[in-house]
Structure formats: C-alpha cells, structure tokens
Chain A
C-alpha cells in the first residue's frame, strides 16, 4: 500500500485531526480502503490536553504518549515522512526526501508550530533552573519539578500574543501552581504574576467573569498586553515588551512557566495554501480551501476563527468528512461547522470550569447546569473520561 504514488485522499499530519479524519473516512466509505495515505514523520502520538495535569504532577506523562503505528487505522497507508511542499495546481505534494505523491483530495492537518526560537535565550534555558513549559512532551515534567521545588519568590506564567493551541492552558497551570503553593506553605512568601499578550483573561465574557474572580481570590497579579521577549537564565530574569508602549520591563523570577509564541508550520506558510496570516485558508463553515476546491484543512494549522483545541477538531472532523465525500461522490448536502470549541479551564486540583462556545463566542454547553461554575465533576471529566474517549472514541472515528 505504501508503494503507491497516487492516492484518492492524502492526509498531511497524523495528529488528533489527521487520525480522526482517516478513521471517519474509512467508516463512512469502505471503498476507500487502501486508497488513503497519512503522511507524518512522527513515531509517537500525544494526547496533549493531559499535559496540563502532567505539569501539575497529577498524571504520569507516559499515559499521554502512544505509538503512532498503533493508531493508524487498518487500510490506511502511513508514509513516515515530512511533507515539504504543496503543488495544489497539479494535485501533488513533495516530501523531504523528494518523494512526489498525487491525490484527488487533500486534507491538511499538520498542527501548529512552536516557535521556541522567537524568545531570545529560551531554547538554551527551557527545562532547567525553573524555566519550564507544558507545551512539549520533552519539557512538561520540568513544570512539575519547578512547582514542587519552588520555595517562595516570584512565580511567573506567560501567554504570548500569537494564537496558541488551547488558549486556556497558559493559565490552567498557574491556578494549579497557586493551589500547590498553598498546600506546601510557600504561597504567603511568593508572588504569582500572569504576563499575557492578550488584553483580558479570556475571550468569552461568561467564563472571563468566573476567571477574574478566581484570579482575585488567588491574589494573582495580572499584566496584560505584555509579551515575553527574552530570558536571562544566568540572572534568572525575564524581559517583557509592552504591546501598547513598546517599553521593556525586566522581572526576576524563581520559576517561570513559558508558553512560547506559535505560528503556522513553515512549510504551510510558504505554500499556495496559506492565507496572508500563514494558516491554511479554509471556509470557516465547510472547511474547504477557499481557492482549491479539492483541498480541506482541519485543526490547529487552519485559519478557522475559533480557539485551537482537540475538542474543536472532534466537531470539525465529521463535517469535513461529510463534505469531502459529498464532493467525491458528486452529491449535495454540504454540512456546516459552527465554530464549536471547548476549553476545560482547570482552576485548581479538583476544580474546573468547562468553557464551550462557538464562532459568536456564545456558550454552546453540553451539560444542563451552569458550566461557568468551578466543579469537581468537570475536573474528573477532563482527567478520567476525556482521555478514554479520545483514544477509543475519537481516534477510531466513532465519537
């Protein structure tokens, strides 16, 4: 199957979105058996939403990692290479080794690129001496180490002004840290700072109200419109730039949790598929490329104007698959995605606000009670239930 150079459907990226789409395509149309390829060089697949709880010391990072080979659905060819260039006019892609593959339909699901290099001194310091991040499997344990070893002083949590995956994750770990510092008795001799490139704590008013109360209750100092630009690891100092005045502010830290800037993967940015912003340019409702009708985009790499989450992908995938099959079989009945996304905002060990909303930032909630409240039940949902639904439901194309 892997020797073919021509596939009915090529899926670029086998992350949350790529595997879900592949599994769903096969479920909906058995005739596609052997005619779909996933191209992805990564041997491992990660359930990233649990990294917040790994950083908080609650979950072992091993449970978030699985062999990619165990997740590629039967009947799908896995080409273990990185895609380097798209040629949508001739319906082909080229991989890093120069392999050229053609398709009838293309699904781009390559995720988001983490730009560690855009913060001076970060690449050299990450994972050591109190500089940590939940945004990588390699460094996530350094977060728990930093929190556990913190014995007072300045704890800084950052959030860049670029789009990030899971917009709530930068603050979730801060709330857990506050909770832990109280438990370990160091909270009274420490200050927690939240430096964010955004202008407010959260984009949806209903949840922002709750989160502002959480921040007040926890005594966290917020600094909005401030972007991390440099880390001086030796002196344990972080430099922020005010987005309104361009002024530089230097703050010393005893621990700093960094959420690095992110952008569309370079190979997409430099391709004809990209919008001006660099993301795959798709119709927000049909997920079909605005210029190339046989190309679809899904997940973190697209310019869908919603928060980039796995939960959003769960709702995008069935729409994409239906629409792709409609086109393939020349049928009518295109479906529409409403921008649904969800962010389980952990507010401490054992409490969570389950934010769910759509393109209009209107709450689009799954439970018949006020989800803006902090709840233990929702924490359990995130910790115990969602991972199982992910591995056995979503990635199998069932839920």
Chain B
C-alpha cells in the first residue's frame, strides 16, 4: 500500500529532530566544507609526479590512510536510498567529522612533502645510501655503515627503519611516519630490484 504524505512526515520526524540538534548541524557543515578540500587534495596528489603516484598506489599506505575511515563509512553509508540509512548517516556525522579531522593533517603533511622537491631529493638520496652498503662492501671491502648495522643487529632490536617507526607510540608521529616509510620504500625500489 502506498504511503500518505502524513506517513512520510511522521517517518521523517526522527530525522528532522536529529537535524535540529546543534551538534549534528555543526558536523554536517564541517563535513561538507571539508569534503571538496579533501577531494582536491586527492586529485592534486594524483596529478603529482610518478613518485607520489606510486605511494598512493601502494596498497599498504592507502589502506592505512583510509582504513579507519572506510571501516566506519562502510558500516553506515546508505547502500539504498532509505530513510533509515540516511538517518544513520546523519546520526553518525560527529564521528565522521572526527575522522576527517584526523585525516586532514596527514594529507597536508603528505601533500607538503610531495610538493617539496628538496625533501624528496633528500629522501631519495638517503634511501640510496641505505640500499648502498651491500654493493659498497663488495667494492671496498670495508664499510662503516655495514659495520654499524652489524653492531645494531646484536641487540636484537628491530633494525630496519620501517619496522621501528611503526612502533612509535605517539599517533600523530606514527601516522606521518607511515608515509615517510612508504616514500622511502618507493624511492629505494629501483636500487633493490
């Protein structure tokens, strides 16, 4: 049986009351404001040099960046255009806003690094140096870095730059370091192959 207008209105009532809450409204506005910026940032990144493109293609870091957000959105985003789903979305806006504000500084950090040619050059050179010792050892017989690496190995602590940074407790550092890790991985790839 078809619903009457009255039925529709009463269905809408809980949504309207949710929407009338200040917190919900603020979150909605913030989310809408932030979205174009985030989309822009994504596309700017995509337009960027191949180096950065590969970072975005790096499954691990994209998952890391979007993992939390997707998990949450996956639960709530309206799959069909139903009122319930829309309500759930609105209801959870404060949560999304929280995630967006978490993602934003990382995006900015990555974007800033990706536009910063000096940093990229520095990272690239560093990664080459890190990948270098084995080759040098063969060539020179004696290598300082190689020896230092061996010494560090003795203490059984994680010695690769990548695994260790994962362990940094502070979340902000951890998030950003993940990108640096990815950048380094990519940068050192040609050398490792």
| A310 vs chain B, min Cβ distance (A) | 14
Type the 1/0 row for B139-176, where 1 means its CB is closer than 8 Å to any CB of A: 00000110111011001011111001101111011001
* Chain B residues within an 8 Å CB radius of A398: 105-106, 108-109, 112, 176
Inter-chain contact total with CB atoms closer than 8 Å: 109
* Chain A residues within an 8 Å CB radius of B151: 350-351, 374, 376
**For the complex, is A183 an interface residue (Cβ under 8 Å from B)?**
yes
* Chain B residues within an 8 Å CB radius of A63: 118, 122
Question: Quick check: A384 and B113 within 8 Å, CB to CB?
Answer: no
**For the complex, is A375 an interface residue (Cβ under 8 Å from B)?**
yes
Bound complex: CA of A159 vs CA of B123, how far in Å?
32
| A363 vs chain B, min Cβ distance (A) | 13
**For the complex, is B48 an interface residue (Cβ under 8 Å from A)?**
no
Question: Quick check: A387 and B168 within 8 Å, CB to CB?
Answer: no
Q: With CB as the reference atom, state the residue of chain B lying closest to A27.
A: B105
Q: How big is the B interface, by class?
A: 35 or more
Known: A349-B148, A351-B148, A377-B159. A368 touches B169 (CB 8 A): yes
Task: Point out the residue from B119, B158, B167, B168 that lies within 8 Å of A392, measured CB to CB.
Answer: B119
Bound complex: CA of A379 vs CA of B161, how far in Å?
9
| B57 vs chain A, min Cβ distance (A) | 20
- From 94 to 134 in chain B, residues with beta carbon under 8 angstroms from any chain A beta carbon are 105-106, 108-109, 112-113, 116, 118-119, 122-123, 126-127, 130
- From 365 to 392 in chain A, residues with beta carbon under 8 angstroms from any chain B beta carbon are 366-369, 373-381, 383-385, 387-389, 391-392
Question: Quick check: A66 and B118 within 8 Å, CB to CB?
Answer: yes
Q: With CB as the reference atom, state the residue of chain B lying closest to A66.
A: B118
**For the complex, is A230 an interface residue (Cβ under 8 Å from B)?**
no
| A83 vs chain B, min Cβ distance (A) | 29
| A184 vs chain B, min Cβ distance (A) | 11
* Chain B residues within an 8 Å CB radius of A392: 109, 112-113, 116, 119
* Chain B residues within an 8 Å CB radius of A381: 161, 164-165
| B17 vs chain A, min Cβ distance (A) | 30
Bound complex: CA of A66 vs CA of B147, how far in Å?
33
| B186 vs chain A, min Cβ distance (A) | 14
**For the complex, is B19 an interface residue (Cβ under 8 Å from A)?**
no
Q: With CB as the reference atom, state the residue of chain A lying closest to B148.
A: A350
Question: Quick check: A367 and B161 within 8 Å, CB to CB?
Answer: no
**For the complex, is B18 an interface residue (Cβ under 8 Å from A)?**
no
Interface size on A, residues (CB 8 A): 33
**For the complex, is A393 an interface residue (Cβ under 8 Å from B)?**
yes
Q: With CB as the reference atom, state the residue of chain A lying closest to B119.
A: A388
Bound complex: CA of A16 vs CA of B161, how far in Å?
25
Question: Quick check: B152 and A384 within 8 Å, CB to CB?
Answer: no
| B155 vs chain A, min Cβ distance (A) | 5
Bound complex: CA of A381 vs CA of B130, how far in Å?
12
Known: A366-B170, A381-B165, A387-B122. A373 touches B157 (CB 8 A): yes
* Additional A-B contact list (19), CB under 8 Å, known A385-B177, A392-B112, A398-B176: A63-B118, A179-B144, A183-B144, A349-B145, A350-B152, A366-B170, A367-B169, A368-B167, A373-B157, A375-B155, A377-B152, A377-B157, A380-B161, A384-B123, A384-B161, A384-B180, A385-B161, A392-B109, A399-B173
Q: Which 4 A-B pairs have the closest CB atoms?
A: A350-B148, A376-B152, A392-B112, A377-B164
A interface residues with partner B (beta carbon < 8 Å)? 63, 66, 179, 183, 348-351, 366-369, 373-381, 383-385, 387-389, 391-393, 396, 398-399
B interface residues with partner A (beta carbon < 8 Å)? 105-106, 108-109, 112-113, 116, 118-119, 122-123, 126-127, 130, 144-145, 147-149, 151-152, 155, 157-161, 164-165, 167-170, 172-173, 176-177, 180, 184
Q: Can you sample 30 A-B contacts with CB below 8 Å?
A: A63-B118, A179-B144, A348-B148, A350-B152, A351-B148, A351-B151, A351-B152, A366-B168, A366-B173, A367-B167, A375-B152, A375-B157, A376-B149, A376-B152, A376-B159, A377-B160, A377-B161, A380-B161, A381-B161, A381-B164, A384-B123, A385-B165, A387-B122, A388-B119, A389-B176, A392-B112, A392-B119, A393-B112, A396-B108, A399-B176
